[in-house]
Amino acid sequence: MFGFGKKKKNISVTVPMTGKIVPLDQVPDPAFAQKIIGDGVAIEPEQGSLVAPFDGEVVHLIDTLHSLVIKHDSGLEILIHIGVNTVSLQGKPFTAFVKTGDSFKKGDKLIDFDIAAIKEAGLPVITPIVVANGDVVESLKIHEGSAAASSGELMEVVLK
Amino acid sequence: MEKQFTIKNPQGIHARPAGAIMKKANEFPNATISLEFNGRKVSAKSITGVLTLGMKAGDAVNVITEGDQAAEALDAVGAVLETVLD
């Protein structure tokens, strides 16, 4: 096209885990529920598999394997945190298929997690998925309902 | 300004404490606030930056501030680094 100036860019974040999409205020951790860490959405997972919601790279995988920050080729960063207080599980119910610095394609396995083990430990498995660098974002459109991993769009992010 | 602080959180700086550091740093919009650890320097206003330092309990971290309220920002962010938030 022949547009002048910078064209706004829309990034599609596909559903990264099978489950029910719920608002962030359902997450029983104020850092997420009050959007302190970032704006986004949460999924109450029904299957213990997290897959990549776009092509990108792992900026940071925490050494206890329950959380990671991934970066879209546009620069958009998304933080995904499997469960609440799951840092205390020291990585046990988690299997990571990537490490910090790895590239991945949409749909690639990132982390498997044992939902039953997390629940047995008395912890919620609800998973916030939030923008980690909100300064690059103009607006977010969030989809709701139940969804299967990689089946559709979770969020549409419009970059500045 | 620059001062060293020691991480007290038993589980290190995972998402929630990193969020608390970022929130405090953003209370100083006209100050530049950096954390320096293990040869890397990041903005305290970036959750990704703070998390990628991988700070654990007992780690000594430099807080470096410039601009408006640099002294207040140094003390405020340092206090969060030394808070137990698990």
Could you tell me the CA-to-CA distances from A156 to A9, A141, B56, B66 in Å, in that order?
10, 5, 35, 36
Domains of chain B: 2-81 (3.30.1340.10)
Residue A5 has pLDDT above 90, yes or no: no
* Among B16, B51, B86, beta carbon nearest to A60: B51
Task: Name A135's Cβ contacts closer than 8 Å, sequence gap at least 6.
Answer: none
Query: A81 an active-site residue?
Result: yes
Rounded to the nearest 10 degrees, how much is the dihedral formed by the CA atoms of B51, A77, A101, A81? 60
Residue A23 has pLDDT above 60, yes or no: yes
Residue B86 has pLDDT above 90, yes or no: no
What pLDDT is stored for residue B85 in this prediction?
A: 85
Q: What is the ipTM of this complex?
A: 0.93
The Cα of B47 is separated from the nearest Cα of chain A by a number of Å equal to: 6
Residue A6 has pLDDT above 80, yes or no: no
Domains of chain A: 16-159 (2.70.70.10)
* Among A67, A100, A132, beta carbon nearest to B14: A67
Task: Name A19's Cβ contacts closer than 8 Å, sequence gap at least 6.
Answer: A43, A44, A45, A46, A47, A127, A146, A147
Give Cα B67 to chain centroid, integer Å.
16
B43-80: pLDDT as tens digits = 999 999 999 999 999 999 999 999 999 999 999 999 99
Are B48 and A38 an interchain contact pair (Cβ–Cβ within 8 Å)? no
Residue A131 at interface with chain B, using a CB cutoff of 8 Å:
no
Q: Are B47 and B18 in contact (CB under 8 A)?
A: yes
Residue A101 at interface with chain B, using a CB cutoff of 8 Å:
no
Contact list, B23 vs chain A (CB under 8 Å)? 36
What pLDDT is stored for residue B5 in this prediction?
A: 98
More confident residue, B51 or A7: B51
Contact list, B51 vs chain A (CB under 8 Å)? 60, 62, 69, 79
Instruction: Indicate the pTM of the whole model.
Output: 0.94
Contact list, B16 vs chain A (CB under 8 Å)? 29, 31
Are B46 and A81 an interchain contact pair (Cβ–Cβ within 8 Å)? no
Contact list, A78 vs chain B (CB under 8 Å)? none
For A80, name the nearest residue in chain B, comparing CA atoms only: B15
